[in-house]
Amino acid sequence: MKAPLLRRGLVALLLAAFTAPALAATQLTGAGSTFDYPLFSKAFYAYNQQHSDLTVNFQPIGSGGGIEQFTQGTVDFGATDVPMNADELKRAAKPVIQVPVALGGEAITYNLPGVGSNLRFTRQLLADIFIGKVTNWNDKSIAKLNPKVKFPNLPIIVVHRSDGSGTTYIFTDFLSSVSSAWKSKVGTGKSVQWPAASSVGGKGNEGVAGQVRNSPGAIGYVELAYALENHMDMALLQNRAGKFLACTMDTVRAAAATKANVSATNFSIVDRAGANAYPIAGYSWVVIYKGTANKAHARQLHDILEWLVGPQGQSIAGSLKYVPLPGNVQATAKKALSEMVL
């Protein structure tokens, strides 16, 4: 082996070359919601183009994982679809600030051969289908809403998320609000016990969409971004004001705008009263500590999150088919951030 010293020197140089840029910049770490991952990856990348001294490493290990790692102190911030509740806050021991950063809606998708998009559903009908009361597509209650459509004699297959997810939480929150039977029998949660006799669980949006696509007679719920990106057939859902609405960026934004003061204890925006408000929508949250030892990190975190909930960050959200936060909610988010001890 010739000149081992030279070889070692070269390796050291390469190592330095690789690690040096990382050393010059600050790197923050975050963990949590898979829903937020595409948004964060694009937003933080864009922010880094303008502020080259800060990089953020966010990994989508799930909301529960995010809260756990945040509590353990292995990451600087967490991202979760359901805000931390009293028990979780108690475990974190230090004061926590929760900031709404992303907004999404859920589309109802179905597979009926020969029938196109835009089938009409009322909120009660949807609840009856998912609770297992309405079991066949030729049921009179469906036909009544869609007189021009010829429905086959086809059993309804309910498709839901098998993995715990904020998407399920928002959907079951919606069902609980519109159906007392659902609320008492099943309830709200990231994972629930689905009562319909003919039901199947798919993992992730991909699993649900794939399952719906594969089974004639299936009906399921997916995130809006997913439905739009994959050009899926969607249903029209009647809201509290009586209008049949499609799940779009505008209708979800309208729902969010009806509640300016969202907070970690009062965050549900399903089934809102508003002419154009789509009934199934919800936020995703970032959790940070009010005060941290590392003041430089705290400052950087504050600035990047403020940028994220502001117009620039939210326009990036829009480009990825997240629904941009309405102006009043942006203000609420900024106010929450201002409570950080810097």
Partner 1 sequence: MILSLRKRAERAHRNDRVFLGIVYGSAGTFVLLILALLVQLILGSWQSIRTFGFAFLWTSQWNPVTSQFGALPLIFGTVVSSFIAILLAGIVGILAAAFLSDFAPREIARPLSFIIELLAAVPSVVYGLWGLFVLAPLMRVAIGPFLQHVLGWSPLFSGPIYGVGLLTAGIILALMILPTVTAISRDVIAAIPQDLREASMALGATKWETMRRVVLPAAKTGIFGALILALGRAVGETIAATMVIGNRPEIAASLFAPSYTLASVIANEFTEATTDVYLSALLELGLLLFIVSFIINALARLMMWTVFRGR
Partner 2 sequence: MNVTTLAMPERTAPHKTSIHIRRLSSAFGVFITGLCASAAALAMLIILFYVAVQGSQALNVGFFTHLPRPVGIDGGGVANGIVGSAITVGIATLIATPVGVLIGIFLALFARGALAESVRFLADVLSGIPSIAIGLFAYALLVAPLHHFSAISAAFAFAVLMMPIIIRTSESAIASVPRTIREGALALGLSSYRATMHVIIPAARPAIITGVLLGIARITGETAPLLFTAFGSEFWELNPKNPMAELALQVFNYAISPYDSWHRQAWGGALILIVAVFALNLIARAILLPRRQR
- H/E run at residue 236: strand 236-238
The least CB distance from residue 62 to partner 2, in Å, is 8
Tokens of 268: 């549900």
Amino acid making up residue 290: K
SS3 129: helix
241 binds partner 2 (CB under 8 A): no
55 binding partner (options partner 1, partner 2, none; Cβ < 5 to 8 Å by kind):
partner 2
Is residue 195 near partner 1 by the rule CB under 8 A? Answer: no
Candidates 13-21, 80-88, 245-253, 315-323: pick the segment binding partner 1 (CB under 8 A): 80-88
Query: Using CB distances below 5 to 8 A depending on partner kind, what does residue 124 bind out of partner 1, partner 2, none?
Result: none
Residue 300 three-state SS: helix
> Looking at 206, 260, 315, 318, which residue binds partner 2 (CB under 8 A)?
206
The helix/strand/coil state of 184 is: helix
- Under 8 Å between Cβ of 121 and 145: yes
Closest C-alpha to 204, from 172, 156, 159, 268: 159
Q: What is the DSSP string of 2-45?
A: --HHHHHHHHHHHHHHHHHHHHHSEEEEEEE-TTTHHHHHHHHH
Q: Can you tell me which of 7, 10, 52, 73 binds partner 2, judged by CB under 8 A?
A: 73
Residue 124 found at the interface with partner 2 (CB under 8 A): no
202 near partner 1 (CB under 8 A): yes
- Binding to partner 1 in span 300-329, by CB under 8 A: none
Shortest spacing between CB 327 and partner 2, in angstroms: 24
Q: Is 181 exposed, middle or buried (0-12, 13-18, 19+ CB in 10 A)?
A: middle
Tokens 């009322």 correspond to: 122
> How near is the Cβ of 221 to partner 1 at its closest, in Å?
15
Place of tokens 């789509």: 278
Q: Tokens 């919800």 label which residue?
A: 282
Instruction: Read off the tokens for 31.
Output: 């963990």
With contacts defined by CB under 8 A, name the span among 51-59, 110-118, 211-219, 258-266 that binds partner 1. 211-219
Report in angstroms how near the CB of residue 169 gets to partner 2 at its nearest: 17
Residues 190, 253, 259, 272: which binds partner 1 (CB under 8 A)? 190
In 13-136, which ranges are E strands? Answer: 26-32, 54-59, 77-80, 96-110, 120-121
| Among partner 1, partner 2, none, residue 157 binds (CB under 5-8 Å by kind) | partner 1
Binder of partner 2 out of 8, 9, 57, 187 (CB under 8 A) = 57
H or E segment at 146?
Answer: none
Structure tokens at 196: 């319909």
Given 26, 98, 111, 211, the residue binding partner 1 (CB under 8 A): 211
Q: In the window 106-145, what residues touch partner 1 (CB under 8 A)?
A: none
Of 340, 305, 341, the residue nearest 325 (C-alpha):
305
Residues that bind partner 2 (CB under 8 A): 15, 18-19, 21-22, 27, 29, 31, 34, 37-38, 41-42, 45-46, 55-62, 65, 72-74, 203-206, 223, 225-226, 229-230, 319-321
Residues that bind partner 1 (CB under 8 A): 61-65, 67-68, 85, 87-88, 155, 157, 162-165, 186-194, 198-203, 206-207, 210-211, 214-215
